[in-house]
Amino acid sequence: MRKVYKKHGLKLLMVVCAGVFIYAAYGLVGIYMDYHQSEKVAADVRETYYQTSAPKEKKSIEIDDEETDRPGFAELLKQNDDVVGWISIDDTKIDYPILHSADNQEYLTEDFNNEESIGGSIFMDYRNDIDSPDRNTIVYGHRMKNGTMFQHLTKFLDKDFFDSHRTFDVETLNGTYEAEIFAVYNTTTDFYYIQTDFEDDADFEQLLAEARKESMYEIDVDVNASDQIITLSTCDYMLDPNDGRLVVQAKLVEK
């Protein structure tokens, strides 16, 4: 009788193990398919943006109340009227449209086509306004294991990479900018680096001073109360698994 129970027990264990394996495999396949779809969407959007970015004749185009003289954006706005800009960083996979919605939740889990995606999108803080830029424009992105979204911000933790990549490019519906990096750091949400509303110049300069203090590098970039900055933010696990953040901040210089 004991042998019979033992035999049935082994069969049950094998069935359970097989079920766990199938479930895990299914989950991995699902993640792979999501990654694949996300990268395909990003590639299609890049193709549209770059193929139409060189205008034959500069003219203003209005799409769903958004007006731009930049044909690349005009084509993207036909597909998604939440487009407000584009960010690209040399020698990284960061080459994406910047989206903007009424909250900071939508594009955490939606791609450019508003389809569900674990990678989400690169998006601007809902408190910012592209038509009336704040002193501090916040841009968020997930840190994906396949190197997409803002995962490659981690490259700035390497001093050699930072030294050879002191700037990156930002284009919006209203202007083209070179972003001069003045701070790179790991922090937690206890540091309110995503502040967008400032009482006065002194309040803004205090944020700049705190960012410089947090920075892992001493960077000779003059930034003061008369400037506008962009803050790139993604998750980080060095200081805290839940509230840790990796931040790159730069001064926006119009081209």
pLDDT at 33 over 70: no
Domain membership of residue 14 (yes or no) is no
Specify if 169 maps to a domain. yes
pLDDT in tens, 209-241: 999 999 999 999 999 999 999 999 999 999 999
pLDDT at 52: 78
3-state SS track over the chain: CHHHHHHHHHHHHHHHHHHHHHHHHHHHHHHHHHHHHHHHHHHHHHHHHHHCCCCCCCCCEEECCEEECCHHHHHHHHHCCCEEEEEECCCCCCEEEEECCCCCCHHHCECCCCCECCCCCCEECCCCCCCCCCCEEEEECCECCCCCECHHHHHHHCHHHHHHCCEEEEEECCCEEEEEEEEEEEEECCCCCCCCCCCCHHHHHHHHHHHHHHCCCCCCCCCCCCCCEEEEEEECCCCCCCCEEEEEEEEEEEC
What pLDDT is stored for residue 71 in this prediction? 72
Q: Is it the case that residue 70 has pLDDT exceeding 90?
A: no
Q: According to the model, what pLDDT value does residue 251 have? A: 98
What percent of the chain stands above pLDDT 70?
Answer: 79
Average pLDDT, the chain: 86
Q: What is the per-residue pLDDT for 225? A: 96
Residue 7 lies in a domain: no
User: Is residue 93 one of the residues assigned to a domain?
Assistant: yes
Q: Which domain holds residue 222?
A: 82-254
Q: 41-45, 61-65, 220-224, 227-231: which has the minimum mean pLDDT?
A: 61-65
Task: Look at residue 61 and tell me if it is in a domain.
Answer: no
Residue 117 lies in a domain: yes
Q: How many domains does the chain have?
A: 1
User: 159 in a domain, yes or no?
Assistant: yes
Residue 210 sits in a domain of what CATH number?
2.40.260.10
57 within some domain:
no
